[in-house]
């Protein structure tokens, strides 16, 4: 099959806000974006070396109907939930939490100074899985394949399979695995999650399913089309081509199968109907959310 290169369709600039107990974040969200980002619901970046911006953390709060993915580049954050899970997120670690029917958890800083930098992604669940039991997975930095391109770039594979479409010989796997797959598996939307680092002017191609939603969030540097803290949304096609800007780029590459289902959201609850949202609110108030 000949490559059909996707083009940049939309740019979305992150905006500053706060969440949890006053944590300062850069957010890309909004119900008006649900159709274009499907099945992605939200992406937050938190980055500060001022402890006042993050020390309050995220005290206990509920979720239902989707998955939260927290990726820590720098810093320490402790997860606890109603199921008894506890995990300390440190540099390079990822926690992948499937809220399903319901989870109540907290994410609290385990540092009082220094840089804290990471991301949280919300990924929708299909209607058939919104009420399944909650699940928590933790992965340390060593769990992820790190791919070094001979052209100089590096790619960390969190979920999905890396494809060196442009030239299969231009990648050397710096991991024991012979196949370049991320450790996260069994997710309904078939997600791809890469942390991408390219040098100035370097080009990278990745094959993707024709109709998957494809996003690129630049958190440092730029591409030929996107500046820092911009999210790019791409048209349909089977290949994505990224060209780093003059200072190189560090970015999150995200792709997943759209659900094409109604989305009703009320704060930490994401369901398909207003009735289901009312039920989630009632269940939480009555202590039934996690039953």
The structural domains of the chain, with segments of one domain joined by +, span: 8-285
- The confidence band for 173, taking pLDDT boundaries of 50, 70 and 90, is very low
Is the pLDDT at 282 greater than 80, yes or no? Answer: yes
The mean per-residue pLDDT over the stretch 163-183 comes to 54
Structure confidence by residue, pLDDT tens digits, 101-128: 999 999 999 999 999 999 999 999 999 9
Nearest-Å Rg of the Cα atoms of the chain is 19
Helix (H) / strand (E) element for 277: namely helix 274-285
Res 3: pLDDT: 81
For domain 8-285, say whether CATH 2.60.120.10 is its number.
Answer: yes
What is the per-residue pLDDT across 26-57, written as a single tens digit (0 to 9) for each?
998 777 788 889 999 999 999 999 999 999 99
- pLDDT over 70 at 1, yes or no: no
Look-up of token digits 């030239």: 167
pLDDT in tens, 205-256: 998 999 999 999 999 999 999 999 999 999 999 999 999 999 999 999 999 9
Q: What's the CA gap between 190 and 161, in Å, rounded? A: 10
Distance CA 142, CA 147 (A): 13
CA distance 127 to 100: 10
What pLDDT was estimated at residue 151?
84
Task: Measure the CA angle with vertex 244, ends 159 and 15; round to 5°.
Answer: 70
Q: What is the pLDDT of residues 201-218, one digit of tens each?
A: 999 999 899 999 999 999
């Amino acid at each position: 099959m000949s490559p059909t290169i996707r083009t940049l369709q939309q740019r979305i600039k992150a905006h500053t806000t706060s969440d949890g107990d006053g944590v300062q974040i850069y957010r890309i969200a909004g119900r008006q974006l649900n159709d274009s980002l499907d099945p992605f619901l939200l992406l937050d970046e938190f980055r500060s070396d001022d402890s006042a911006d993050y020390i309050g953390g995220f005290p206990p709060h509920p979720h239902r109907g989707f998955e939260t993915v927290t990726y820590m580049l720098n810093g320490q954050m402790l997860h606890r939930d109603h199921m008894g899970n506890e995990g300390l997120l440190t540099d390079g670690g990822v926690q992948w939490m499937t809220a399903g029917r319901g989870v109540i958890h907290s994410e609290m800083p385990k540092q009082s100074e220094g840089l804290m930098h990471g991301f949280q992604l919300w990924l929708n669940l299909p209607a058939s899985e919104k009420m399944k039991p909650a699940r928590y997975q933790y992965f340390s930095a060593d769990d992820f394949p790190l791919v070094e391109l001979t052209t100089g770039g590096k790619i960390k594979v969190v979920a999905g399979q890396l494809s060196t479409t442009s030239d299969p010989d231009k990648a050397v796997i710096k991991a024991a695995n012979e196949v370049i797959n991320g450790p996260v598996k069994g997710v309904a939307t078939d997600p791809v999650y890469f942390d991408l680092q390219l040098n100035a002017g370097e080009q990278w191609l990745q094959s993707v399913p024709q109709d998957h939603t494809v996003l690129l969030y630049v958190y440092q540097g730029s591409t030929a089309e996107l500046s820092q803290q911009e999210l790019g949304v791409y048209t349909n096609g089977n290949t994505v081509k990224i060209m780093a800007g003059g200072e190189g780029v560090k970015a999150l590459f995200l792709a997943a199968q759209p659900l094409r289902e109604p989305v009703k959201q009320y704060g930490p609850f994401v369901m398909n109907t207003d009735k289901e949202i009312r039920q989630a609110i009632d269940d939480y108030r009555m202590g039934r959310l996690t039953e």
